[in-house]
């Protein structure tokens, strides 16, 4: 990782004054130990007209990985950083920011004992960072530095010129030019390099807020992107601990497949849903589901694919629902649900009404039997079409709640989302999105196979042409009034293969009679 | 009752073949010889008689001393005094305990106590039932004066008051009439001292004990009145049908003297129950068949007996059909049914045949509940959504040594599970009629001629596993679990690992029906020994083949094969001969219908997003298998292959972008500028020489790293062959390097030596070349897509090394150096014998990888070869990785064995899931 700071000068204001301001002599190469390796300061050019100071940080990649003991104190907090193949030795990341602060501490504070008159004077500066990781790309780099008076050039670096189809990397080559007080310039870099990097800064410590306030003095207060800067600079603190807990097993499974962990650990959405923007559709969906559940008189409710538990929270607010069980396949989602519902702090009586389970609708699950209602809200579209038959059996064949409420996007409505490119699904994990007709056919087939009557309804503003953004189906078990067991509704309707209630239990009665043992049994006497 | 020998025919629940069934021992022998007292060879014999009636003498004469437990002896045990009546309570507790233990172990036991009181006998009857053995009563009715004389002659009983004997006698008389009602299956009454003297106890084989018959057998599943199919099946099995004057089949004879065994449910639902009965009754009568009772025979028997039963579940059809037969036939049927036993133990105890299944503790036992289990299975008393009784899956917990072959529960396909086999393949519902050849363990089936009876419940649930009996259950995979493996015993999966696997399996993996196997991880060879000199020159190794050879030599493996390691992504290929085979064998239905196999990654994810490309690849592999003649040679219609799919960039694009190429891009951009600055500073006279030197080295390392990953990246499909040629979903540029045939129908190939494996794979390669040449000849102008000309299959270079031979080892090292110098990933060293154990029985690592020096930059970072880095990196711990590799290997083998044995999907999936779960154990990912 490398950057240069260049200034120009004249005879009465020689450029080499930079050496005084930085407290580093232009004719020497100096080295400094920092926590992640050795920082070198040297001047490739130093004369009156131009003077360039270069800082080169030699990162020890092995030490970076191996120093794992001190989590949050320089050790690698997660497996992602524990890779030997790591851009840290090459890119201007948060490590470089830390090195800047320790090597140029006085300069950053604006102290210069030898030439105090130089302090605070704007210099013509040119700062070059050959490899700057920039999440958000050149545009964000502009947005961050231009308001500070810099003229910005941020050229994206290609990933690999032999494979142009791979596109650009997340790095830019950054050149900043402008007249700026050196201390301020260093502080800009100190804060904005890690913000752009947006990697897991494992160095976020409790005093980080103070550091940010100090370094941001005089420019951050009125920066138009202040929220983003502060957010990114500090945001990962809370998330970090959670991540360290939940992701490791999945991370290893991703590694097994040479895949990035984000490809599979994506059950909890960090970015907002595209679809939520125009109307709070999620709220309307929840209201629609609650309405259906209320009308069925359900008391014991399953939320299958409960995600982060928003519906569970709503259900708990109503006394009608005496038992609410949320199930999800993602441990991370359940963790998030637990946190959001404040399960740990919930009063005991209320906590007794709710349970969270890890489970999967790819399997039959005995724990799901005997409920009044099950909700599958925005779940089916996350299942591969080939595997829907398993879900169908698990819910309608095995668990068989009296009522099943299913919601799913109506793909016809997608043309009404301005932000959604044509042909794209609403969420990257959606395996499909159905038209109203497709959904109807699927639901009615299930109803016929498993003895449920189905009704449909729109959720959200209904468009005369393309319908509502979300579609809802309510399945009611046709034998729900009959006791236990139940028989096959459709077949019964056809009449021919249905069996009378008396016949139905006969097999069992016969078996139990014979099972009664020698005394009282009749069959051996036959 | 004149002979005083009564056999109760009316005891409920007991096994009483009145006719037709063979009893192993002769009945009472008339004549002057001593009277024979029949006693089933596993029973609880209760002697009943007053004190002094001669019970102990009788017992000693007819039974082994260890078979007789006397109350006097037990009194002695607890009180040191055989006659201490005050110790009776404790003594009987001991007696019952010992009797219970003996009966549980299946040993005939004689209770020598007065047993003249009904309540003391009731306890013994209960004990017998608890252990499912028959209680037998032998009454010694000896005159009072004889008893008194005998007691007087014994010092310890001389003082016994006369009234005690009198009381015993009174109680005995009162008991005589009630013994059968009390539950005694056989009652022998011996009157007078003479009669007691003049008998001989004859042990009778139980009706269900046919261990002496060794077959060979043909066990036939539920026929349910499908006479035509039964005749076809018997014909297929090699039986010659014997017909009566009217052309009706009345017997069937096998030229090799085989015996047919019917699992019951001959009748109901089907078109010709009388015809089936006529044939089977004839075969049983002529000794060419055995038959156990099914629940349907039981019900029909009750009907024929004049009892009221509901004419449901197909009984109505049978009754109607029987009405057309004459009275004699119906009477014969009734007799036949009365004689049916609930189960048979055959072939030295290796085979148990019954109708609905039987746990081991019931094998060879006789009681009402044994019969009920054998006829109805383990019912819970509940009914399911179709109104049918819910059956507890007893076979899932069966661990017995005897194979249990049964029927009763219709299933689309007969498959072994825990040494049990259900043969009911729903012939009457339009399925098939299936038979098992024993001891060959071959299945023979004939399809139903039509649907004779509409099933109440669909035969196959659409859900995965439904076609094998039951859909996958969360209990098969979730939570902390132990999986039993043939090769490594019980292996444990931890809860957190199962949780992660559940997420990946549910959200990203293929339909489990198409996922019969996941490959195990592989450990690297031991870390190369440090060499200061080589390290200093920058030529040190982290992995070196010498260690791999040494390791196998130490494990006693002499011949190893070095196989080139292709740097792509691991791919398992399941290729079926047709989509129909995928449907039939793997139960692929519903939305997956039409696929002819699968290509998936190490975590079970489909390799390609689009089905068309998958099918194209499968099509090519299929053509090669066809051309090489392997379908026929391996007698299979599907093949499971372990392979490497290239290029790496095909699947690892995400990782390349976020990690490998990104690092390369960053390094590539930063060094020119950093070096420029250093050179400028040096030119100014600043002393940066050593720093500059170091940075140049790092720059070179980074460039080597970029070269390393680039070697494994190339374009595929449309991009590879130019616009239009291959089209999207084309195979151009894609290479598949198969290196092992894992399984075919009925057989796991995991233990086939690698040299043979590779020879088979070479034939696939040759087949593809031939196919391409033909295609080229046919259309020289068309010049098809590039890959279609270069071929999909990539060869795997290999070298066999003798680990004991230094020269051979040196050749192996040289081969590897050559292979890796150009950036090759390295090699895998495997024992030629594939599945090999050490002398102490432990599994040998199935392979160790030995990765190339340049390749390892991708793993350990661009600068790993620097001496200071190498030194630290050599401190790596292989123990966990090696243990993990072996455990996953054993689970993989288990999945293949279960697949080969035709076990139900949940059993195969259990092992597959466990491999995935273990893969999330915390192991250094660089190993």
pLDDT at B387: 62
Q: What count of CB pairs under 8 Å joins A to B?
A: 391
| Nearest CB to A397 within list B461, B605, B919 | B461
Is the per-residue pLDDT at B438 higher than 80?
A: yes
Contact A62 B861 (CB under 8 A): yes
Q: Other C-beta atoms within 10 Å of A297: how many?
A: 11
Distant-in-sequence, close-in-space partners of B394: CB < 8 Å, separation ≥ 6 = B357, B359, B377, B378
Give ipTM to 2 decimals.
Answer: 0.80
CA–CA separation, B157 and B56 (whole Å): 14
Where is pLDDT greater, at A234 or B541?
A: B541
Position B587 scores a pLDDT of 84
Per-residue pLDDT band for A232 (boundaries 50, 70, 90) equals confident
* Cβ pair B312:A506 closer than 8 A: yes
Find all residues with CB under 8 Å of B678, minimum gap 6, and list them.
A42, A44, A56, B688, B691, B692, B695
- The per-residue pLDDT for A119 is 85
pLDDT given for residue A272 in this prediction: 40
The pLDDT of residue A496 is: 33
* Alpha helices (runs of H) in B728-783, residue ranges in sequence order: 754-778
Write the CB contacts of B46 (distance below 8 Å, at least 6 apart in sequence).
B110, B111, B115, B121, B124, B135, B136, B137, B138, B184
Q: What is the mean pLDDT of chain A?
A: 80
Query: Does A437 reach chain B within 8 Å, measured CB to CB?
Result: no
Looking at residue A516, its pLDDT comes to 35
| Contact of A126 with A6, CB cutoff 8 Å | yes
State whether B862 and A85 contact (CB < 8 Å): yes
pLDDT for B203-262, tens place per residue? 999 999 999 999 899 999 999 999 999 999 999 999 999 999 999 999 999 999 999 999
Residue B895: per-residue pLDDT: 97
pLDDT at B854: 87
User: Does pLDDT of B317 surpass 50?
Assistant: yes
Q: How far is A218 from chain B (nearest CA, A)?
A: 32
Kindly tell me the sign of the dihedral angle through the C-alpha atoms of A314, A315, A317, A323: negative
- The number of residues in chain B equals 927
- Given a contact cutoff of 8 angstroms between Cβ atoms, the answer to whether A392 and A445 are in contact is no
Chain B CB within 8 Å of residue A257 CB = yes
pLDDT for A503: 33
Residue with the larger pLDDT of the pair A524 and A208: A208
Alpha carbon distance B872, B874 (integer Å): 5
Phi/psi for B78 (5° steps) reads -90, -15
Summary mean pLDDT of chain B: 88
CB contact under 8 A, B654 and A388: no
- Rounded CA-CA distance B72/B154 in Å is 14
Backbone angles phi, psi at A447, to 5 degrees: -55, -45
Q: What's the rounded mean pLDDT across residues A420-448?
A: 89
The answer on pLDDT for B24 being more than 50 is no
- Per-residue pLDDT of B94-114, as tens digits, reads 999 999 999 999 999 999 999
Q: What is the pLDDT of residue B414?
A: 84
Q: Above 60 in pLDDT, residue B782?
A: no
Cross-chain Cβ contact A131/B666 below 8 Å: yes
Please state the pTM of the whole predicted model. Answer: 0.76
If phi > 0 it is left, if psi is from -120 to 50 it is alpha, else beta; for residue A353 that is alpha
Calculate what percentage of chain A has a pLDDT beyond 90: 42
Task: For residues B874 and B534, give the distance between their C-alpha atoms in angstroms, rounded to a whole number.
Answer: 14
Residue B822 predicted with pLDDT over 60: yes
Average pLDDT over residues B828-832: 95
Question: Is residue A77 over pLDDT 50?
Answer: no
Question: In the predicted model, is pLDDT for residue B723 greater than 50?
Answer: no
pLDDT computed for residue A271 by the predictor? 45
> For residue A135, what pLDDT band results from cuts at 50, 70 and 90?
confident
Q: How many CA atoms lie within 13 A of A282 on its CB side?
A: 12
Closest to B343 (Cα-Cα) out of B369, B318, B325? B369
Helix (H) or strand (E) holding B336: helix B327-338
Q: Give whichever of A82-86, A214-218, B770-774, B888-892 has the largest mean pLDDT.
A: B888-892
> Are A85 and B688 a contacting pair at CB < 8 A?
no
Q: Where are the beta strands (DSSP E) in A120-274?
A: 123-133, 151-158, 168-180
**Once rounded to an integer, what is the mean pLDDT over residues B707-732?**
70
Look at the alpha carbons of A405, A411, A416, A418 in this order and tell me if their dihedral is positive or negative.
Answer: positive
A42 token code pair: 């040297």
pLDDT in tens, B795-808: 999 999 999 999 99
Least confident segment among A155-169, B376-390, B488-502: B376-390
The tokens describing B470, both together, are: 């039951």
Looking at the DSSP bridge assignments, the partners of residue A324 are A301, A354
Taking the CA atoms of A204, A210, A216 and A222 in sequence, report the sign of the dihedral they define: positive
DSSP E strand stretches across B359-401? 379-383, 389-391
Tens digit of each residue's pLDDT (9 = 90 or more) over B640-683: 999 999 998 888 887 888 888 999 999 999 999 999 999 999 99
Mean pLDDT of B581-610: 88
A119 in contact with B, Cβ within 8 Å: no
How many whole angstroms separate alpha carbon B149 and alpha carbon B169?
Answer: 15
Distance between B96 CA and the closest CA of chain A, angstroms? 21
| A 316-375 residues with CB < 8 A to B | 329-331, 358-367
Select the residue from A156, A361, A515, A520 to test the B interface by mutation, using most B Cβ atoms within 10 A. A515
Using the Cα atoms of residue B108, residue B113, residue B114 and residue B116 in order, give the sign of their dihedral. negative
pLDDT at residue A269, as a whole number? 62
Distance from CA of A64 to the nearest CA of B (A): 12
Q: Given an 8 Å threshold on Cβ–Cβ distance, is B13 in contact with A524?
A: yes
Rounded alpha-carbon distances, angstroms, from residue B20 to B28, B204, B284, B538: 18, 17, 8, 89
User: Which chain A residues touch B379 with a CB distance below 8 Å?
Assistant: 508, 511-512, 515
pLDDT of residue A234: 74
Spatial separation of the C-alpha atoms in residues A101 and A95, rounded to whole Å: 10
**Interchain contact, B670 vs A1, CB within 8 Å:** yes
Reply yes or no on whether the pLDDT at A130 is more than 50: yes
Rounded (10°) CA dihedral B359, B364, B370, B373:
40
pLDDT at B789 over 80: no
- Measure in Å the smallest separation between the Cα of B924 and chain A Cα atoms: 9
3-class secondary structure, B96 = helix
**Residues forming beta bridges with residue B917, ordered by sequence position:** none
Higher pLDDT residue, B736 or A254?
A: B736
* A133 → chain B, closest CA residue: B666
The full DSSP string for B640-699 is EEEEEEE-HHHH-HHHIIIIIHHHHHHHHHHHHHHHHHHHHHHHTT---HHHHHHHHHHH
Phi and psi at residue B478, in whole multiples of 5°?
A: -80, 160
pLDDT number for residue B482: 92
Q: Which of A76, A167, A197, A249 to mutate to test the interface with B (most CBs of B within 10 A)?
A: A249
Query: Above 80 in pLDDT, residue B394?
Result: yes
| Angle separating helix axes B315-323 and B295-304, nearest 10 degrees | 50
Break chain A down into helix, strand, coil percent, rounded to 5.
Answer: 40, 20, 40
pLDDT band at B377 (very low <50, low <70, confident <90, very high): confident
Amino acid B388: pLDDT: 65
Reported as a single tens digit per residue, the pLDDT across B560-576 is: 999 999 988 999 999 99
Residue with tokens 């409505």, as numbered in its chain:
A413
B409 contact partners, CB below 8 Å, separation of at least 6:
B356, B377, B391, B422, B424, B469
- Count of beta carbons in the 10 Å neighbourhood of residue B690: 9
Residue A477 has pLDDT above 70, yes or no: yes
Q: For residue A66, what pLDDT is reported?
A: 64
Record: contact B376-A510, CB cut-off 8 A:
yes
Contact A393 B461 (CB under 8 A): yes
Asked whether residue A522 carries a pLDDT value surpassing 60, the answer given is: no
> Do β-strands A403-409 and A373-377 pair in parallel, antiparallel, or remain unpaired?
parallel
pLDDT of res. B267: 94
Rounded average pLDDT over B709-737: 72
What pLDDT shows up at residue A175?
Answer: 95
Percentage of residues of chain B with pLDDT beyond 90: 62
Neighbours of B791 (CB within 10 A): 18
User: Which of A272-276, A312-316, B377-381 is predicted most confidently?
Assistant: A312-316
Query: What does the alpha-carbon distance between residue A265 and residue A242 come to, in Å, rounded to a whole number?
Result: 13
Please check the confidence at residue A495 and state whether its pLDDT lies above 70: no
Q: Average pLDDT, stretch B367-393?
A: 77
Tokens for B861, please give them. 């970072």
Q: What is the structure's pLDDT at B721?
A: 55
Residue B177 clears pLDDT 50, i.e. is over it:
yes
Confidence of residue B458 (pLDDT cuts 50, 70, 90): low
How far apart are the C-alpha atoms of B823 and B165, rounded to whole Å? 101
Quote the pLDDT of residue A419.
76
Q: Are A361 and A383 in contact (CB under 8 A)?
A: yes
Closest Cα in chain B, distance from residue A462 (Å): 31
Identify the CA nearest to A156 among candidates A174, A144, A140. Answer: A174
pLDDT band at A71 (very low <50, low <70, confident <90, very high): very low
Helix, strand, or coil here: B161? coil
Rounded to whole angstroms, the Cα distance separating B665 from A171 reads 8
Question: Mean pLDDT over residues A104-129, rounded?
Answer: 89
B612-626 pLDDT, tens digit per residue, is 889 999 999 999 999
The candidate with the shortest Cα–Cα distance to B812, out of B555, B552, B536, is B552
Q: Residue B146: which region, alpha, beta or left (left: phi > 0; alpha: psi -120 to 50)?
A: alpha
pLDDT of A345 higher than 90: no
At A518, the pLDDT band (50, 70, 90 cuts) reads very low
Q: Which backbone phi and psi does B439 adopt, to 5 degrees?
A: -90, 10
For A419, the 3-state DSSP assignment is: coil
Cβ atoms of B316 and B268 within 8 Å: the answer is no
Reported as a pLDDT band with limits 50, 70 and 90, residue B740 is very high
Query: How confident is the model over B269-295, as pLDDT tens digits?
Result: 999 999 999 999 999 999 999 999 999
Mean pLDDT of A132-142: 90
CA distance A117 to B793: 75
Q: Which positions ≥6 away from B415 have C-beta within 8 Å?
A: B421, B422, B468, B469, B901, B902, B903, B904
């Amino acid at each position: 990782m490398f950057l240069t700071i260049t200034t120009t000068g004249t005879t009465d204001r020689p450029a080499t004054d930079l050496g005084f301001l930085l407290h580093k002599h232009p004719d020497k190469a100096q080295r400094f130990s920092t926590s992640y390796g050795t920082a070198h300061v040297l001047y490739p050019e130093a004369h009156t007209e131009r003077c360039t100071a270069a800082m080169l940080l030699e990162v020890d990649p092995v030490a970076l990985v191996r120093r794992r003991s001190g989590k949050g104190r320089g050790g690698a907090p997660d497996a992602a950083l524990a890779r030997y193949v790591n851009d840290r030795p090459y890119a201007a990341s948060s490590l470089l920011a830390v090195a800047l602060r320790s090597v140029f501490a006085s300069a950053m504070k604006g102290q210069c004992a030898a030439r105090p008159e130089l302090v605070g004077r704007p210099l013509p500066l040119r700062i070059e960072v050959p490899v700057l990781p920039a999440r958000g790309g050149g545009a964000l780099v502009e947005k961050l530095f231009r308001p500070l008076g810099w003229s910005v050039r941020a050229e994206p670096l290609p990933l690999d010129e032999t494979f142009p189809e791979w596109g650009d990397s997340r790095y830019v080559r950054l050149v900043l030019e402008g007249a700026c007080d050196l201390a301020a310039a260093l502080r800009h870099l100190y804060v904005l390099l890690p913000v752009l990097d947006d990697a897991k800064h494992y160095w976020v410590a409790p005093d980080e807020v103070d550091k940010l306030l100090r370094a941001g003095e005089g420019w951050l207060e009125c920066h138009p992107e202040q929220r983003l800067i502060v957010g990114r600079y500090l945001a990962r603190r809370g998330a970090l601990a959670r991540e360290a807990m939940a992701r490791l097993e999945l991370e290893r499974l991703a590694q097994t497949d040479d895949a990035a962990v984000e490809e599979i650990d994506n059950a909890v959405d960090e970015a907002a849903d595209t679809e939520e923007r125009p109307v709070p559709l999620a709220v309307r969906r929840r209201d629609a589901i609650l309405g259906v559940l209320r009308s069925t008189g359900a008391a014991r409710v399953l939320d299958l694919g409960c995600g982060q538990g928003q519906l569970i929270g709503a259900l708990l607010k109503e006394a009608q629902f005496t038992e609410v069980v949320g199930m999800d396949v993602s441990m991370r989602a359940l963790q998030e649900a637990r946190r959001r519902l404040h399960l740990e702090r919930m009063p005991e009586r209320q906590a007794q009404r709710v349970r969270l389970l890890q489970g999967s609708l790819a399997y039959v699950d005995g724990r799901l039997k005997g409920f009044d209602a099950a909700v599958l809200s925005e779940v089916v579209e996350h299942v591969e079409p080939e595997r829907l038959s398993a879900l169908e059996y698990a819910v309608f064949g095995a668990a068989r709640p009296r009522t099943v409420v299913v919601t799913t996007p109506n793909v016809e409505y997608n043309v009404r989302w301005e932000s959604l490119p044509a042909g794209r699904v609403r969420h990257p994990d959606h395996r499909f999105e159905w038209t109203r007709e497709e959904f109807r056919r699927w639901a009615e087939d299930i109803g016929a196979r498993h003895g449920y009557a189905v009704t449909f309804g729109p959720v959200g503003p209904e468009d005369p042409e393309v319908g509502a953004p979300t579609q809802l189906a309510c399945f009611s078990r046709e034998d729900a009034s009959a006791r236990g067991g139940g028989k096959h509704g459709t077949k019964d309707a056809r009449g021919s293969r249905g069996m009378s209630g008396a016949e139905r239990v006969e097999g069992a009665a016969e078996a139990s009679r014979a099972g009664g043992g020698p005394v009282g049994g009749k069959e051996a006497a036959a | 009752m004149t002979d005083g020998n009564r056999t109760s025919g009316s005891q409920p629940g007991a096994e009483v073949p009145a006719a037709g069934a063979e009893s192993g021992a002769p009945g009472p022998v008339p004549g002057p010889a001593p009277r024979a007292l029949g006693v089933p060879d596993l029973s609880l014999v209760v002697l009943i008689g007053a004190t002094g009636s001669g019970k102990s003498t009788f017992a000693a004469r007819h039974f082994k001393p260890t078979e007789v437990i006397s109350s006097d002896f037990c009194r002695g045990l607890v009180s040191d005094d055989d006659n201490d009546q005050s110790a009776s309570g404790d003594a009987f507790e001991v007696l019952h305990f010992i009797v219970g233990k003996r009966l549980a172990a299946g040993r005939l036991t004689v209770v020598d106590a007065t047993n003249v009181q009904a309540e003391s006998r009731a306890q013994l009857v209960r004990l017998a039932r608890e252990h499912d053995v028959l209680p037998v009563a032998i009454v010694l009715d000896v005159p009072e004066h004889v008893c008194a004389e005998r007691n007087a002659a014994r010092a310890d009983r001389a003082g016994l008051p006369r009234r005690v004997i009198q009381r015993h006698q009174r109680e005995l008389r009162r008991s005589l009439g009630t013994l059968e009602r009390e539950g005694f299956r056989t009652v022998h009454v011996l009157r007078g001292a003479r009669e007691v003297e003049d008998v001989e106890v004859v042990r009778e084989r139980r009706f269900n004990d046919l261990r002496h018959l060794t077959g060979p057998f043909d066990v036939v599943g539920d026929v349910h009145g499908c006479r035509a199919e039964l005749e076809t099946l018997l014909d297929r099995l090699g039986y010659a049908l014997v017909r009566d004057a009217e052309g009706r089949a009345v017997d069937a004879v096998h030229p090799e003297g085989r015996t047919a065994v019917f699992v019951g449910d001959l009748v109901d639902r089907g078109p010709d129950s009388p015809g089936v009965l006529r044939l089977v009754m004839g075969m049983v009568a002529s000794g060419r068949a055995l038959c156990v009772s099914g629940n349907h025979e039981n019900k029909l028997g009750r009907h024929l007996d004049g009892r009221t039963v509901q004419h449901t579940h197909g009984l109505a059809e049978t009754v109607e059909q029987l009405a057309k037969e004459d009275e004699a036939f119906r009477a014969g049927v009734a007799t036949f049914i009365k004689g049916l036993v609930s189960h048979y133990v055959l072939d030295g105890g290796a085979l148990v045949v019954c109708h609905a299944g039987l746990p081991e503790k019931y094998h060879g036992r006789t009681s009402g509940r044994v019969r009920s289990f054998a006829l109805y299975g383990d019912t819970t008393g509940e009914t399911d959504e179709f109104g049918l009784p819910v059956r507890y899956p007893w076979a899932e917990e069966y661990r017995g040594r005897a194979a249990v072959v049964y029927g009763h529960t219709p299933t689309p396909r007969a498959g072994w599970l825990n040494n049990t086999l259900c043969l009911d393949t729903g012939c009457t519902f339009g399925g098939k009629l299936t038979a098992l050849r024993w001891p060959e363990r071959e299945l023979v089936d004939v399809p139903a001629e039509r649907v004779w009876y509409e099933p109440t419940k669909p035969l196959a649930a659409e859900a995965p596993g439904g076609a094998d009996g039951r859909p996958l259950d969360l209990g098969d995979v979730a939570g902390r679990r132990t999986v039993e493996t043939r090769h490594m015993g019980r292996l444990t999966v931890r809860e957190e690992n199962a949780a992660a696997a559940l997420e990946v399996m549910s959200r990203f993996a293929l339909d489990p029906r198409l996922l019969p196997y996941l490959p195990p991880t592989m450990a690297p060879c031991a870390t190369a020994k440090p060499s200061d000199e080589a390290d200093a020159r920058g030529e040190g190794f982290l992995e070196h083949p010498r260690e791999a050879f040494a390791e196998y030599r130490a494990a006693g493996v002499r011949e190893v094969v070095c196989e080139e390691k292709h740097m792509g992504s691991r791919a398992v290929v399941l290729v079926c001969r047709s989509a129909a085979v995928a449907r039939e064998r793997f139960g692929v239905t519903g939305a997956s219908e039409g696929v002819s196999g699968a290509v998936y990654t190490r975590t079970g994810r489909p390799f390609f997003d689009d089905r068309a490309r998958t099918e194209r690849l499968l099509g090519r592999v299929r053509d090669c298998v066809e051309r090489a003649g392997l379908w026929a040679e391996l007698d299979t219609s599907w093949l499971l292959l372990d392979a490497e799919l290239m290029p790496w960039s095909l699947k690892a694009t995400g990782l390349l972008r976020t990690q490998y190429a990104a690092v390369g891009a960053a390094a590539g951009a930063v060094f020119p500028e950093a070096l420029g600055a250093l050179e400028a500073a040096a030119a100014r006279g600043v002393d940066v020489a050593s720093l500059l030197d170091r940075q140049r080295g790092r720059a070179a390392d980074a460039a080597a790293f970029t070269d390393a990953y680039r070697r494994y990246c190339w374009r595929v499909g449309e991009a590879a062959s130019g616009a239009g040629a291959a089209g999207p979903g084309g195979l151009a540029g894609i290479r598949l390097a198969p290196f092992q045939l894992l399984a075919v129908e009925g057989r796991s190939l995991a233990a086939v030596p690698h040299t043979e494996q590779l020879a088979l794979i070479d034939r696939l390669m040759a087949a593809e070349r031939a196919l391409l040449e033909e295609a080229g000849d046919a259309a020289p102008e068309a010049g098809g897509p590039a890959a279609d000309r270069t071929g999909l299959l990539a060869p795997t270079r290999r070298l066999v090394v003798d680990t004991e031979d230094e020269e051979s080892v040196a050749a192996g090292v040289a081969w590897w150096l050559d292979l890796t110098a150009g950036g090759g990933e390295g090699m895998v060293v495997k024992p030629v014998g594939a599945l090999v154990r050490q002398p102490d029985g432990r599994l040998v690592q199935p392979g160790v990888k030995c990765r190339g020096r340049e390749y390892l930059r991708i793993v350990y970072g661009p600068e790993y070869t620097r001496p200071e880095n190498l030194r630290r990196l050599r401190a790596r711990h292989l123990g966990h990785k090696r243990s993990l590799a072996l455990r996953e290997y054993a689970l993989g083998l288990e999945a293949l064995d279960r697949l080969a044995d035709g076990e139900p999907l949940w059993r195969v999936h259990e092992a597959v899931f466990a491999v995935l779960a273990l893969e999330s154990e915390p192991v250094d990912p660089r190993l």
